[in-house]
Amino acid sequence: QVQLVESGGGTAQAGGTLSLSCQTSERTFTTYAMGWFRQAPGKEREFVAAIAWKTRSTFYADSVKGRFTISKDDVKNEVYLEMKDLKPEGTTVYYCNGEIHRGYCAGDKCHHGRDWGRGTQVTVSS
């Protein structure tokens, strides 16, 4: 199984910026995209952003459009999430997600793939 390791996160003030990184141990031939999800206490895990490996197509949840940017490094097999203009409701755990297949993405959103990282905490203070 592919291993995903997140780094980054931490604490920032509202309006500030944080960046996340996710390194994958390998990239399978069938993988269309990788992405980020987040889960607040007591809530379901929700889609944040995804990026396609070959086409670099990007997908964003409406709540983060214009503020978050997902990118990747093909050589390092890493995916990044730059988060600007952070909001207090963004205090949550962010999870890297892999094995997102093409059929999982429609419109601006993707359903999660098989592989998950352990998560990294992001705290936004008001």
- Amino acid 2 reads V
Contacts of 109 (CB under 8 A, 6+ apart): 47, 59, 61
Q: How far apart, in whole angstroms, are the C-alpha atoms of residue 77 and residue 65?
A: 24
Residue 36 above 60 pLDDT?
yes
pLDDT tens for each residue of 4-29: 999 999 999 999 999 999 998 876 65
pLDDT at 62: 96
Rg (CA), the chain: 13
Confidence of residue 1 (pLDDT cuts 50, 70, 90): confident
